[in-house]
Structure 1
Amino acid sequence: MARSTFDLDVRGQLGVREQLALLSLPPRLRRRLLNNVSKRVRTMSRKNIRNQQNLDGSPFEARKNPEKGKKKMEAGLGKLLQVTSVTPDQAVLGWRNALTSWVAAQQHNGTSERRTAAQMKRWNRVPEGLAATEKQAKRLRRLGFKVRQAGKKSLSRPPVAWILEHVNYAQAGLLIRILSEEQSESTGKQSWEITLPKRQFLGASTERDTGLLLNQVLQQILNSPR
């Protein structure tokens, strides 16, 4: 399954002594530990996006057509990245919106697959301030973007208001790129072949780095007042 989250599990990341120290902590402090580590990994991931580099330090592969956009790649995904769940034993860093998570997986892992308009019919309401712009919404309509709206049996071109309510900025950018590239080949398509290179920004560089970060935060919690 394509990776769209960073899963932090304390098992296997700590030595025996550190694991014993961790088990001595109450659940609330173990949750705090994993939450803090996950947020630091989020900071590292966002730094990779700012620097436009992969986990190994290599630069992101450039866009095929640089004129299509000068904004930094994956910037929208970085803003939406958050700790989606945390327990005393495991934390997950990712995206709450299912479509955003799917987009992130394609960007992080690279992909070449066919997606259909019908497969993109399940959308979540977008939080205020993160929606697509009106300019993006109008362009999506011009490009023939269609979805199956509530109460309708067939795919239809949604109004601008629907797009602003259900599609966020990062999603709109990717869909515009997909539809624009396909538009030159054929109009009225209801499926698209998506080919994206790997741009691996999510996570720490290595498991060793994750272990070191986990140990560092553990020591801070052990040495802080309870």
Structure 2
Amino acid sequence: MPEIYTKAKARKRSNKAKDAADQDGPATRHQARLLRQLGYSITVGKKVKRTRKPGLAWIQKNMSFEQAGQTLKMLIAEKRNKRAGKTSWEIKVPARPFLELDPQLVINALAAEFNRRR
């Protein structure tokens, strides 16, 4: 039977989850660089709307860690023309040899063990 993993299970198992304090903080410099490389732009102007690429300092000052992460995820998905990420996946676990034993052999082994202890 395949085992179903979710993002939460994988994150918990790998111990790579960020602390809540880190996620509430500002965007990192690395995130800001990636956003600019992927073409992130903001609209400026009140009457005439135009877009421009924000600087690294602006991104770090005005975006949170989570906002930058979500925006990166969307931009990467657009570039790849795919979904942003899998929400769950299956891992096929091979059959374990001890489960494939003949039932009669198991009964005989248990009987021998019980008789030996008496």
Please give the TM-score of this superposition, normalised by the length of structure 1: 0.28
Structure with more contact order per residue of length (Cα contacts < 8 Å, sep ≥ 6): 2
Q: Which has the larger radius of gyration?
A: 2
Q: Greater helix percent: which structure?
A: 2
